[in-house]
């Protein structure tokens, strides 16, 4: 692309302004690479080559690597003008410059898909590549308020409606649910527990966190009772592509400071939305909310979105715009059982939850009427199965939290490192290092930051390596053996852990017993 195509307005101005023309020529001299310190004197630069307010907003989106606040504009402009793949790596700046100098930003030379690293607590995190042209819609996703301090006003994130291919119908794209990408700003907690003071006054690293649909569904509608509303933004295909590229750049580059009140998921996300929806600088239209629920309510009733998809939640659920808390379905299962079986032993979910696994199965088997009804009615049997599966999901999560409690209290990360030092160099040591020590220590490290969107090839650390068979029985036995001496059996947490494990085993056995009745 020619310079005149990248900045037509600037070229026209330069034709009429000798100083600007000279400065532009100096700026684009490929033989002289200016450093930040000795670069252009801001006072002498023409106003066309100086940062404006919108540029400062743009910089906030990615927190670029430059230290200088003043000369950085010209340096980045220079990169935009002379680097061929600048727009592929820095779409946020590229779109800013294109808009300021009245050009059309082009990604025709960007042939590679953009990467995202998506968290999934069951499958493990995964690196995915998304072709921006395969994203049909961008949604603002609102998770209704939770009971924790950090989520009392809900949580907002963005969803990319990724299609199977470019020619897919909208319904086919909607059905491709398990390949949709979710991105939301979160506090990256550099330890195992959250410090509320740091949460309020800053200190936690904020970044745009990627998740799979399964993870978002699990973390919101299953493990806690939150409803998910997915609100489509009114964007053209070009705008969608721009947002996808912007999000990838932010995902890999932005490392900010999270505060529950002033720099939270809503405030950080709406900076991006203001850019995407071109609301920057429009004081009456610009999104400027501190609370996620306020932002969502504003947008839901705005022409910037297609809020009508949420008018009928029944329809929204069938189209994938609404995902209610699953508690209502489990309640429905229990109500159905209680309505049909007079002697059904549970009146509500709370009562069911408070009953240990062995007792629950005993209650089902020992009553002839309950047993006979379930054995002869697959629909009711499935309802009973659901109630047990819910317990399994909770117990699995609780087991995870219990282990974390133990790791914190007994400082097992330190123990693990010390124990590893004593081992001779061997394949076992490398396996423990690779599968457990390195991943766990990453919790305390900063998230790596990239200068713009990285090449997939540069993300080898993020690609899953199956060579080590992490998670295998052998690997687990080895780490357990190493840690066993550091964890006394009579520790209260360990006793509780054993109870959990027993409950987990019994609950799985309950499920298998019910399945055998089908």
Partner 1 sequence: MKKTSLILFALGSPVAMADNALIGIYCQENTNGAEVYVNDELKFECSDFAREAVVLEEGSYQIKAVQNINKEQEKVFIQQVDATADRPQRVRITMPQQASLTAYGLAMKEQREAEAARKLALEKERLAKQAVQTDLAQAGDGDLEAMQRVIKRYETGEGLEKDPLQVDYWRQQYTASKEKKERYEKIAQLESELENNPYFYWLGLFPRAIANSNASESSTLITGLPFYTIGDLISSPSVYFTRKDIEERLDTIEGHAVRWAKPDSMVAKASQ
State which of positions 247-306 bind partner 1 (CB under 8 A): none
At 70, is the secondary structure helix, strand, or coil?
Answer: coil
For partner 1, give the closer residue by CB, 41 or 477. 477
- Interactions with partner 1, residue window 75-114 (CB under 8 A): none
- CA-nearest of 233, 188, 192 to 209 is 188
- Interactions with partner 1, residue window 341-360 (CB under 8 A): 353-354, 356, 358-359
- Interactions with partner 1, residue window 201-220 (CB under 8 A): 209, 214-215, 217-219
- Cβ-contact 89, 110 below 8 angstroms: no
Q: Does 332 help bind partner 1 (rule: CB under 8 A)?
A: yes
Q: Mutual orientation of helices 473-484 and 412-422 as an angle, nearest 10°?
A: 100
Among 193, 283, 422, 466, binds partner 1 (CB under 8 A): 193
Among 390, 419, 452, 454, binds partner 1 (CB under 8 A): 390
Closest approach of partner 1 to the CB of residue 303, in Å: 25
Among 23, 242, 248, 326, binds partner 1 (CB under 8 A): 326
- Cβ-contact 262, 201 below 8 angstroms: no
Q: Does 372 help bind partner 1 (rule: CB under 8 A)?
A: no
Task: Give the CA radius of gyration of the chain.
Answer: 27
For partner 1, give the closer residue by CB, 114 or 431. 431
| CA 418 – CA 463 distance, rounded (Å) | 28
How many residues contact partner 1, by CB under 8 A?
114
| CA 127 – CA 463 distance, rounded (Å) | 6
> Kindly report the CA angle at 470 between 465 and 474, in degrees rounded to 5?
145
- Interactions with partner 1, residue window 398-437 (CB under 8 A): 398-401, 403-404, 406-407, 412, 416, 435-436
For partner 1, give the closer residue by CB, 128 or 399. 399
Tokens 């927190």 belong to residue = 63
Tokens of 392: 């399994």
Among 164, 281, 439, 488, binds partner 1 (CB under 8 A): 439
Among 169, 262, 442, 469, binds partner 1 (CB under 8 A): 442
Closest approach of partner 1 to the CB of residue 58, in Å: 27
Tokens of 510: 């309950």
Show the site string, 112-151: x = touches partner 1 by CB under 8 A, - = not: -------xxxxxxx--------------------xxx-xx
- Interactions with partner 1, residue window 172-191 (CB under 8 A): 174-178, 186-189, 191
Quote helix, strand, coil % in the chain, to nearest 5: 55, 10, 35
DSSP for 379-442?
Answer: HHHHHHHHHHHHHHHHHHHHHHHHHHHHHHHTTHHHHHHHHHHHSPSSHHHHHHIIIIIHHHHG
Q: Does 310 help bind partner 1 (rule: CB under 8 A)?
A: no
- Interactions with partner 1, residue window 475-514 (CB under 8 A): 475-477, 479-480, 483-484, 487, 494-506, 508, 513
| CA 471 – CA 431 distance, rounded (Å) | 10
Among 74, 337, 361, 370, binds partner 1 (CB under 8 A): 361
- CA-nearest of 51, 50, 218, 204 to 119 is 218
Q: Does 460 help bind partner 1 (rule: CB under 8 A)?
A: no
Q: How far is CA 415 from CA 116, 193, 408, 437, 490, in A?
A: 33, 18, 11, 11, 18
For partner 1, give the closer residue by CB, 59 or 259. 259
The pair phi, psi for residue 233, each rounded to 5°, is -85, 145
Query: Judged by CB under 8 A, which stretch of 3-11, 46-54, 192-200, 280-288 contacts partner 1?
Result: 192-200
CA 353 to chain centre: 30
Task: For residue 193, give the DSSP letter.
Answer: S
Q: Does 7 help bind partner 1 (rule: CB under 8 A)?
A: no
Closest approach of partner 1 to the CB of residue 297, in Å: 21
Q: Does 10 help bind partner 1 (rule: CB under 8 A)?
A: no
Closest approach of partner 1 to the CB of residue 358, in Å: 4
DSSP bridge pairs for 137: 161
| CA 187 – CA 209 distance, rounded (Å) | 9
Among 170, 366, 418, 446, binds partner 1 (CB under 8 A): 366
The pair phi, psi for residue 185, each rounded to 5°, is -75, 130
For partner 1, give the closer residue by CB, 28 or 351. 351
| CA 309 – CA 140 distance, rounded (Å) | 13
Q: How far is CA 328 from CA 243, 344, 348, 349, in A?
A: 35, 19, 12, 10
Tokens of 328: 């209502």
Among 440, 450, 456, 468, binds partner 1 (CB under 8 A): 440
For partner 1, give the closer residue by CB, 33 or 375. 375
Closest approach of partner 1 to the CB of residue 1, in Å: 38
Among 329, 423, 450, 468, binds partner 1 (CB under 8 A): 329
Task: For residue 305, give the DSSP letter.
Answer: B
Tally Cβ neighbours within 10 Å of residue 135.
Answer: 26
For partner 1, give the closer residue by CB, 33 or 480. 480
Among 222, 266, 277, 370, binds partner 1 (CB under 8 A): 222
For partner 1, give the closer residue by CB, 11 or 370. 370
């Amino acid at each position: 692309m020619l310079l005149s195509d990248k900045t037509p307005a600037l070229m026209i101005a330069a034709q009429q302004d000798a100083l600007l023309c000279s400065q532009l020529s100096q700026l684009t001299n490929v033989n002289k690479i200016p450093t930040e310190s000795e670069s252009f004197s801001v006072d002498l630069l023409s106003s066309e080559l100086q940062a404006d307010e919108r540029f400062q907003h743009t910089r906030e989106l990615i927190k670029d690597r430059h230290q200088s606040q003043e000369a950085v504009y010209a340096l980045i402009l220079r990169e935009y003008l002379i680097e061929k793949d600048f727009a592929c790596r820095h779409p946020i700046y590229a779109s800013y410059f294109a808009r300021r100098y009245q050009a059309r930003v082009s990604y025709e030379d960007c042939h590679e898909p953009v990467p995202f690293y998506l968290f999934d607590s069951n499958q493990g995190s995964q690196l995915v590549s998304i072709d921006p042209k395969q994203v049909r819609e961008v949604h603002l996703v609102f998770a209704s308020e939770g009971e924790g301090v950090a989520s009392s006003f809900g949580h907002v994130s963005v969803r990319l409606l990724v299609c199977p291919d470019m020619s897919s119908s909208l319904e086919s794209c909607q059905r491709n649910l398990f390949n949709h990408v979710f991105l939301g700003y979160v506090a990256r907690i550099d330890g195992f527990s959250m410090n509320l003071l740091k949460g309020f006054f800053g200190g936690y690293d904020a970044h745009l966190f990627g998740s799979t649909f399964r993870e978002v569904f699990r973390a919101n509608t299953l493990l806690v009772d939150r409803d998910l509303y997915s609100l489509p933004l009114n964007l053209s295909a070009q705008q969608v592509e721009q947002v996808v590229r912007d999000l990838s750049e932010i995902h890999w580059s932005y490392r900010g400071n999270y505060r529950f009140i002033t720099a939270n998921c809503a405030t950080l996300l709406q900076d991006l939305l203001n850019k995407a929806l071109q609301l920057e600088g429009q004081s009456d239209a610009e999104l400027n909310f501190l609370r996620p629920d306020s932002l969502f309510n504003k947008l839901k009733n705005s022409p910037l979105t297609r809020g009508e998809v949420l008018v009928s939640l029944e329809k929204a659920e069938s189209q994938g715009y609404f995902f209610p808390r699953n508690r209502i379905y489990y309640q429905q299962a229990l109500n159905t059982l209680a309505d049909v079986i007079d002697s059904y032993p549970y009146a509500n979910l709370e009562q069911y939850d408070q009953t240990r696994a062995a007792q629950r199965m005993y209650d089902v088997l020992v009553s002839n009427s309950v047993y006979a009804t379930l054995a002869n009615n697959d629909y009711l049997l499935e309802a009973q199965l659901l109630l047990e599966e819910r317990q399994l999901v909770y117990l699995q999560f609780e087991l995870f939290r219990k282990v974390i409690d133990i790791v914190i209290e007994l400082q097992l990360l330190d123990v693990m490192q010390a124990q590893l030092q004593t081992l001779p160099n061997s394949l076992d040591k490398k396996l423990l290092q690779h599968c457990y020590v390195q991943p766990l220590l990453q919790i305390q490290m900063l998230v790596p930051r990239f200068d713009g969107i990285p090449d997939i090839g540069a993300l080898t650390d993020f690609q899953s390596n199956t060579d080590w068979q992490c998670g295998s029985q052998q690997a687990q036995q080895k780490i357990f053996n190493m840690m066993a001496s550091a964890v006394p059996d009579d520790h209260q947490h360990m006793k509780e852990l054993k109870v959990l494990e027993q409950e987990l085993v019994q609950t799985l056995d309950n499920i298998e017993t019910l399945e055998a009745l089908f």
